[in-house]
């Protein structure tokens, strides 16, 4: 079996959930004896970069992607024998010929919340791959349901394969400091502002908020913090994995108020580290966290405040630390790899 992953997302994304998924998948496949290659092309991705040519920084992302796609097509066509082509994003182009194609769908956010995004062709590309791919992988049942209802994909064409995490050796967490942790981008559908509003509540007046990832605060976010007199209680950090792990270890909880997620890796990664999670009761999040997190209605500020305030109690916090670790063990990357191999094998029969 030979598997080729397209360069698209590795060229566009320096770090993030999608490239982490494919890096874990490729490593696991190779450990299982599958000839799996990530064709990174002119990538700038930290998961597969050992060093980066300075010339790449002077080349636009669109030009790098165009060149990488061309090289990938030439490389794929030069290979002999049957192979699986697995695009890393919907922007990929299929390889000519009879190569089986498998496409992973992460979410349908651009279709559900089109008004929150600038004009783009992502939905058209999703429709193309929903029709063109020989098999489709959805990273959650919630995503699969959206594919059926919004893209009218036959359910029989979809295999649900959850993402995974690594559960570190259990260490006793030290007493948390006085902060909540928010991980990821702060796009409008992520509902970040409701966490800011929650910090205004008297019950949470002693808490700070650390935001990891997502870049520096926008002008709108800065103004919101100043209007609520919270600028001194919110910190924005661009952390590498090692730094993020240290921040996880001392957090009271991870708060994840997103209105829509195709899966939601940060809650799973937090639970694996024994960090309690408070998350929105929406889309895929209940499917991922089960009863190991406190869930709230993301449209109700009082519900957010109440969920967070429950974890200020040490006994409650310890219970959700325990539940979270146990829940995370249900999502090993090895299972993601094995189930993906099964999809490939079915295509090659």
- Judged against a pLDDT cut of 70, whether residue 43 lies above it is answered with yes
- Plot region of 339 (φ>0 → left; ψ -120 to 50 → alpha; else → beta): alpha
Helices (H), the chain: 8-12, 17-31, 61-78, 109-112, 122-132, 141-151, 192-199, 219-227, 241-249, 265-272, 285-289, 301-310, 314-328, 333-348
The CATH number of 179-328, from 3.40.50.2000, 3.40.50.970, 2.50.20.10, 3.40.50.300, is: 3.40.50.2000
Under the banding of pLDDT at 50, 70 and 90, the label for residue 53 is very low
**What's the pLDDT score for residue 49?**
63
Distance between CA atoms of 254 and 179, rounded to whole angstroms?
9
**What's the pLDDT score for residue 58?**
61
186-222 per-residue burial string, b: 16 or more CB within 10 A, e: under 16: beebbbbbbbbebbebeebeebbbbbbbbeebeeebe
Domain boundaries, the chain: 2-164+332-348, 179-328
What percent of the chain stands above pLDDT 70?
95
**What's the pLDDT score for residue 57?**
54
Distance between CA atoms of 35 and 104, rounded to whole angstroms?
19
Domains 2-164+332-348 and 179-328 share a fold: yes
- The pair of structure tokens assigned to 17 is 């959930």
Contact, 20 vs 28, CB < 8 A?
A: no
Under the banding of pLDDT at 50, 70 and 90, the label for residue 61 is confident
The mean per-residue pLDDT over the stretch 236-262 comes to 91
Under the banding of pLDDT at 50, 70 and 90, the label for residue 101 is very high
Query: Tens digits of per-residue pLDDT, 168-215?
Result: 887 777 678 899 999 999 999 999 999 999 999 999 999 999 999 888
Q: Which residue has the tokens 């796009």?
A: 187
Contact, 65 vs 72, CB < 8 A?
A: no
- Judged against a pLDDT cut of 90, whether residue 328 lies above it is answered with yes
**Predicted structure pTM score:** 0.91
Query: Tens digits of per-residue pLDDT, 302-321?
Result: 999 999 999 999 999 999 99
Q: Which helix (H) or strand (E) holds 5?
A: strand 2-5
**What average pLDDT does the structure give for the chain?**
91
- φ, ψ at 28 (rounded to 5°): -65, -40
Sign (positive or negative) of CA dihedral 281, 285, 291, 292: negative
Four-point Cα dihedral 286, 290, 292, 295, nearest 10: 30
- The pair of structure tokens assigned to 243 is 């730094």
**What's the pLDDT score for residue 55?**
47
Under the banding of pLDDT at 50, 70 and 90, the label for residue 238 is confident
What percent of the chain stands above pLDDT 90?
72
> CB within 8 A of 57, min separation 6: which ones?
44
Into which CATH architecture does domain 2-164+332-348 fall? 3-Layer(aba) Sandwich (3.40)
Q: Which helix (H) or strand (E) holds 183?
A: strand 179-183
More confident position, 140 or 47? 140
Query: Tens digits of per-residue pLDDT, 152-172?
Result: 999 999 999 999 999 988 777
Distance between CA atoms of 105 and 89, rounded to whole angstroms?
8
- DSSP per-residue letters across 268-298: HHHHHTT--EEEESSTTHHHHHTTSSEEE-T
């Amino acid at each position: 079996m030979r598997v080729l992953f397209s360069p698209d997302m590795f060229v566009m994304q320096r770090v993030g959930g999608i490239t982490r998924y494919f890096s874990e998948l490729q490593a696991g496949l190779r450990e299982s004896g599958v000839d799996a290659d990530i064709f990174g092309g002119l990538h700038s991705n930290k998961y597969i970069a050992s060093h980066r040519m300075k010339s790449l920084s002077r080349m636009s992302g669109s030009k790098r992607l165009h060149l990488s796609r061309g090289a990938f097509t030439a490389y794929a066509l030069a290979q002999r024998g049957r192979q699986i082509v697995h695009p890393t994003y919907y922007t990929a182009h299929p390889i000519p010929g009879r190569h089986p194609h498998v496409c992973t769908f992460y979410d349908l956010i651009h279709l559900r919340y089109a008004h929150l995004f600038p004009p783009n062709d992502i939905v058209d590309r999703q429709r193309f791959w929903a029709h063109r791919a020989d098999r489709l992988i959805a990273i959650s049942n919630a995503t699969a349901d959206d594919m059926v209802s919004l893209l009218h994909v036959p359910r029989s064409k979809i295999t649900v394969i959850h993402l995974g995490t690594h559960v570190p050796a259990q260490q006793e967490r030290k007493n948390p400091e006085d902060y909540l942790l928010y991980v990821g981008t702060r796009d409008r559908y992520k509902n970040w502002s409701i966490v800011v509003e929650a910090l205004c509540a008297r019950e949470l007046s002693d808490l700070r908020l650390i935001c990891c990832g997502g870049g520096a605060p926008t002008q709108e976010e800065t103004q919101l913090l100043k209007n609520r007199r919270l600028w001194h209680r919110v910190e924005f950090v661009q952390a590498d994995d090692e730094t993020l792990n240290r921040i996880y270890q001392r957090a009271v909880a991870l708060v994840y108020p997103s209105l829509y997620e195709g899966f939601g890796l940060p809650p799973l990664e937090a639970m694996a580290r024994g960090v309690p999670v408070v998350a929105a009761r929406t889309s895929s999040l209940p499917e991922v966290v089960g009863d190991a997190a406190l869930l709230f209605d993301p449209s109700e500020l009082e519900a957010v405040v109440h969920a967070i305030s429950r974890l200020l109690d040490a006994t409650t916090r310890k219970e959700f630390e325990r539940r979270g670790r146990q829940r995370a063990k249900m999502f090993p990357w090895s299972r993601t790899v094995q189930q993906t191999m099964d999809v490939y094998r079915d295509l090659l029969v």
